[in-house]
Amino acid sequence: MSEHVALLTTGGTIASSRDEHGVSRPVAGAGIELDGVRVREVMSKDSSALNFTDLDTIRTATADALAEDGCVGVVVLHGTDTMEESALYVDLFHDDERPVVFTGAQRTSDHPDPDGPSNIAAAVAAAQSEQGVLIAFGGRVLPARGAIKKHTTELDAFRSAAIPRPKPLQWKPVAGIRVDIVALYPGADGVQIDASREAGASGIVLEALGSGNTNATVVHAVKQAVAAGVHVVVTTRVPFGETSPTYGGGGGGHDLVDAGAVFSRELRAGQARIQLAALVAVGASDVVVHNSFS
> What is the model's pLDDT at position 219?
98
To the nearest whole number, what is the mean pLDDT of the chain?
92
Average pLDDT over residues 5-34: 71
> What is the model's pLDDT at position 17?
60
pLDDT tens digits, 90-136: 999 999 999 999 999 999 888 888 988 999 999 999 999 999 999 99
> What is the model's pLDDT at position 110?
84
Which residues does the annotation mark as catalytic?
13
> What is the model's pLDDT at position 293?
83
Average pLDDT over residues 143-154: 96
Average pLDDT over residues 173-184: 98
What is the rounded CA–CA span in Å between residue 138 and residue 135?
Answer: 10
Q: CA 126, 130, 136 angle in degrees (round to 5)?
A: 40
What is the rounded CA–CA span in Å between residue 26 and residue 18?
Answer: 9
Average pLDDT over residues 28-32: 57
What is the value of pTM for the model shown?
0.92
